[in-house]
Amino acid sequence: MMNGRLSFLSKRLSASRNSSSKFIALSLLPALLLVVTFTYYPFGRGIVMAFQNYQLFDLTDVHFIGFDNFKGIFSDPKFLGALTNSAYWVFVSLILQFVIGLTIALMLNKKFRGRGLFQGFVFYPWALSGFLIGLIWKWLFNSQIGVINDLLLRVGLIDERIGFLSDPNWAMFSVIVANVWYGIAFFAIMLLAALQSVPSELYEAGSMDGAGGVRKLFNITLPYIMPTVLTTTLLRAIWIFNDPSIIYGLTNGGPAGKTHILSSLMLDRIMYGGDYGAASAIGIVMIGILLLYTIFYLTVTRAGKLGDF
């Protein structure tokens, strides 16, 4: 009798588990379909197109051409210039965003009157789209009616208006300024959250040992928040590398391609040339660069061994 009850309960439990598994699988199916449709399928399709002659204006002649698209982009001076610009764009933007963001986070970590209002001003840019920020700074940098030129003239730093977005010597500097203003908020938010988790006892112990503010920063604060620093710099570098929206809003890659990065050049090949094959080849190169960068970064910094951020 007892064995019969145990067998019955075992069957009921097994049936319940099977029912739960089916319910979970059905619940995950819509999300899985969305991921496959909007992530994996475009990714796979892009790999295929990178090896095809895929011209939007001549879809009757789509065929495989091997590595011709890759040969074409690597022999293109615009691609090589965009590759150099991408490295400069990411490195300078990332360094300035991190340093200024950390400075602001350290300020916001202290209590002072109006701190909440100041936080709102600091975090505000992160709520805007990159393209909108590009348009805002396009007006600010305008050579005729721009506020920046007007202020520089008023304080006597320049004698005539500067074409920040039309002058090849100033264009890259200008888009980096806009990108830094945009990205400071991300570092300020993330680093402020990390700073607020540092135990006050560590600072008290440092004060007892005679440590000053600079020594506390380098011996207590930065080591404690290092997992957050490494993770945020890795993520932000990838985002800066991939995001052409600010450049498109400001200069559209001009003048004469001087502000093109790889992602903006890829969009340019699609929007103005209709060359999906070459654009896909650029995308594959970008993925390869990001993979190598991520592996190198994680290996050198050993970020994976530092725990959660």
pLDDT exceeds cutoff 60 at 271: yes
Here the tokens at position 176 are 């980096």
E-strand stretches of the chain: 52-53, 63-64
pLDDT tier at 7, thresholds 50, 70, 90: low
Q: What is the pLDDT of residues 10-25, one digit of tens each?
A: 555 555 566 667 777 7
Q: Rounded to the nearest 10 degrees, how much is the dihedral formed by the CA atoms of 143, 144, 146, 150?
A: 100
What pLDDT score was predicted for residue 64? 92
Pick from 161-175, 211-225, 277-291: least confident: 211-225
pLDDT exceeds cutoff 50 at 309: no
What pLDDT score was predicted for residue 81? 93
E-strand stretches of 18-150: 52-53, 63-64
Segment 49-60 mean pLDDT: 88
Note the residue count of the chain. 309
Of 303 and 274, which is predicted with more confidence?
274
DSSP state of 36: I
Of 175 and 298, which is predicted with more confidence?
175
Q: What is the pLDDT of residues 70-108, one digit of tens each?
A: 999 999 999 999 999 999 999 999 999 999 999 999 988
pTM value is: 0.84
Pick from 55-64, 182-191, 228-237, 258-267: least confident: 55-64
What pLDDT score was predicted for residue 103? 93
When the pLDDT of each residue in the chain is averaged and rounded to a whole number, the result is: 86
Q: Are 290 and 238 in contact (CB under 8 A)?
A: yes
Of 111 and 255, which is predicted with more confidence?
255
Give CA–CA dist 80/88, Å, rounded: 13
Here the tokens at position 51 are 């090896």
SS3 32: helix
Segment 44-68 mean pLDDT: 89
What pLDDT score was predicted for residue 16? 58
pLDDT exceeds cutoff 80 at 3: no
pLDDT tier at 51, thresholds 50, 70, 90: very high
pLDDT tier at 5, thresholds 50, 70, 90: low
Give CA–CA dist 186/164, Å, rounded: 26
Nearest residue to 249 via CA among 174, 183, 151: 174
Of 235 and 216, which is predicted with more confidence?
235
